Amino acid sequence: MSLLALSGTNSVSGGYEIDNSIMFTTQGTHADSGSYFYDIIASSEGWAANSNAGTNARKCTVSAWVKRTALTESSHYPRIFSYRAGGVAFDVFFDPSSDQLTMYDDNTSMSLKTNRSFRDTSAFYHIVVAVDQTQSTASNRVKVYVNGVQETSWATEDYGNQNVDLSVFRTTGTSIYVGGAANDASAYFNGYISEYNFIDGQQLAPTSFGEFDEDSGIWKPKAYTGSYGTLGHYYNFTVSNDMGKDFSGNGNDSNNRGDGITNGAARQATDTPTNNFCTLNGLTPATTSAYTTEGGTTYNGSWSNPEYALMASTFGVSRGKWYWEVKNSGTNGALTGTGAMRYENPNYDNFLSNTDGGIATYYTYGTAANKIYYFNGSAQTSIAYSSFPNAGTGDIISIALDMDNGKIYFAINNTWGNSGNPATGTNPVGLPSGFITDTYTPAATVGSAGTSTAYYNFGGYTEGTISSGESDANGYGTFEYAPPSGYYALCTKNLAEYG
């Protein structure tokens, strides 16, 4: 089960499937100036030589599925998209101080901001912005939908001037930015964007791109089958060496000029609206001593007495068998640990193994080698764990969590400690006895005046290099090592079956 709103997961078995998303980040490995995806509307790249040659300069619809992994980002103004031409722009972003969905168009003077905030980092939102500036009724000129429902409550409400061209169609050479903006060096989105459609010349309803599942009532994607118009484009990010390929039929490809974005597979993810993967949960730390980057897959922690940079994840489980990996980046302080924790009443100001039900291996602390630590409600206990040395730079720790039987297993570079075998249940470590029936989630920690960076891999994306590309028995996830028989990646398709 998801620790946040299940209604937002949009993962329903059967029907239209989305294979890939693209990941954006502003910190971590790509911190030089953030990451974004952009190109210029120009005839040399398949676009019309004059933007005004579009189907209709006053009508368009943008549809995208987005999953946030960082919130309230100071002056960051994280753009979902920005179309900019001749000094004016059509932008949609999350307000950096309030996480309200915000949009404006300079040329029409449109300016809208929702009353509600969007703070779910566990799921994808489907956002549709549908514009028709020819409408005489102001509120009909711009319609905004989230997960199939129209937004009608606004903190800022100006639908723009009637019969004025949108910025995207204003001049020759419009720039399209996905996950960033031309005029703001810090306007980078943190998270995943999938199934990106731009429709030229039509104001469409969300039902062109999604539908409510008849059994669960969850809003889910469906294939868009309509026309795109002259300047329309559709990015599904399925071609790893050509992430900017346009599948609309117009040939409006992007050359991926954005900083940090290449035509390689480094940004391609399998974390999508139809199979949503677990990530680290940037909302869980009690302080700013820990944060996550690279699409919620890189842990960054810094001990500051008495804070131990404890961070949980977006999914929790109370049954089933689950697998994930952690790669040692080589940037670590003392007491860098990984494991699992219960979600009931966690203590984020303490060690993972000093909070009720927490269990971990501290893989960079010499005196803790060959030991697993856990807290059973009154005291910390250590367990000898043979064949389990400290993890060196580049080493991969595998975790197999068996919630059906209250067991956990740890491996380094595919060698399971205590000669354990998760598939057969041999030589496990028992979860703290007082908390076996609780909900557990993957977790990270660092302490004792240390800092740490570690790459987590739940199967949807990881910054750590994968050489083998193994998946679970259902074909989900991309791991360095094959999950043990009977263990599965933490994604919504598996959770629906086993969780």
444 domain-assigned: yes
What are residue 450's phi and psi, to 5 degrees?
-120, 165
Side by side, which strands form the sheet with 154-158?
Answer: 37-40, 175-178, 79-85, 88-94, 100-105, 110-117, 154-158
Q: What is the mean pLDDT of residues 419-438?
A: 94
Express each pLDDT in 140-166 by its tens digit: 999 999 999 999 999 999 999 999 989
- Comparing C-alpha atoms, which of 302, 324, 322 is closest to residue 311? 302
Candidate from 4-18, 65-79, 359-373, 406-420 with smallest mean pLDDT? 4-18
494 domain-assigned: yes
Tell me how far apart the terminal alpha carbons of the chain are, to the nearest angstrom.
6
| Residue 255 banded pLDDT, cuts 50, 70, 90 | low
| Residue 46 banded pLDDT, cuts 50, 70, 90 | very low
Query: Within this chain, do residues 71 and 205 fall inside the same structural domain, yes or no?
Result: yes
Beta-carbon count within 10 A of 217 CB: 9
For residue 384, the model assigns a pLDDT of: 86
| Paired residues of 341 in beta bridges | 441
Candidate from 32-36, 45-49, 409-413 with smallest mean pLDDT? 45-49
Taking only Cα atoms into account, the Rg of the chain, rounded to an integer number of angstroms, comes to: 23
Query: Within this chain, do residues 196 and 318 fall inside the same structural domain, yes or no?
Result: no
In this predicted structure, the answer to whether residue 450 has a pLDDT above a threshold of 80 is: no
Instruction: Give the CA distances from residue 440 to residues 3, 11, 497, in Å, rounded to whole numbers and listed in that order.
Output: 10, 21, 18
Q: Which residues, including other chains, have CB under 8 Å from residue 418's CB and lie 6 or more apart?
A: 385, 386, 387, 388, 427, 429
Q: What is the mean pLDDT of residues 73-82?
A: 77
Instruction: Locate 467 and state its tokens.
Output: 């050489």
278 domain-assigned: no
Query: Within this chain, do residues 188 and 326 fall inside the same structural domain, yes or no?
Result: no
- Can the peptide bond before residue 306 be classed as cis, meaning omega within 30 degrees of 0? yes
Query: Within this chain, do residues 250 and 350 fall inside the same structural domain, yes or no?
Result: no
Q: What is the mean pLDDT of residues 191-207?
A: 96
Strands, E assignment, 151-272:
154-158, 175-178, 191-200, 210-212, 219-221, 233-235, 268-269
Domain count, the chain: 2
Last residue of a domain, one of 269, 303, 337: 269
For residue 19, the model assigns a pLDDT of: 96
In this predicted structure, the answer to whether residue 412 has a pLDDT above a threshold of 60 is: yes
Q: Tell me the longest C-alpha to C-alpha distance in the chain.
A: 75
Query: Within this chain, do residues 256 and 341 fall inside the same structural domain, yes or no?
Result: no
For residue 453, the model assigns a pLDDT of: 87
Candidate from 11-15, 289-293, 389-393, 394-398 with smallest mean pLDDT? 11-15
Strands, E assignment, 272-365:
290-293, 298-302, 321-331, 337-342, 359-362
For residue 313, the model assigns a pLDDT of: 95
- The whole-chain average pLDDT of the chain stands at 85
274 domain-assigned: no
Query: Within this chain, do residues 250 and 356 fall inside the same structural domain, yes or no?
Result: no
Query: Within this chain, do residues 338 and 423 fall inside the same structural domain, yes or no?
Result: yes
Query: Within this chain, do residues 361 and 473 fall inside the same structural domain, yes or no?
Result: yes
11 domain-assigned: no
Q: What is the mean pLDDT of residues 349-376?
A: 82
218 domain-assigned: yes
Q: What is the CATH number of the domain that holds 321?
A: 2.60.120.920
Q: Which domain holds residue 92?
A: 18-269
Query: Within this chain, do residues 246 and 361 fall inside the same structural domain, yes or no?
Result: no
Residues 210, 18 contacting (CB under 8 angstroms):
no
Query: Within this chain, do residues 51 and 172 fall inside the same structural domain, yes or no?
Result: yes
In this predicted structure, the answer to whether residue 351 has a pLDDT above a threshold of 50 is: yes
Q: Which residues, including other chains, have CB under 8 Å from residue 225's CB and lie 6 or more apart?
A: none
Query: Within this chain, do residues 226 and 317 fall inside the same structural domain, yes or no?
Result: no
Q: What is the mean pLDDT of residues 222-238?
A: 93
Query: Within this chain, do residues 263 and 295 fall inside the same structural domain, yes or no?
Result: no
Q: What is the CATH number of the domain that holds 264?
A: 2.60.120.200
Q: What is the mean pLDDT of residues 407-419?
A: 94
> CA 246, CA 180: separation in Å to the nearest integer?
19
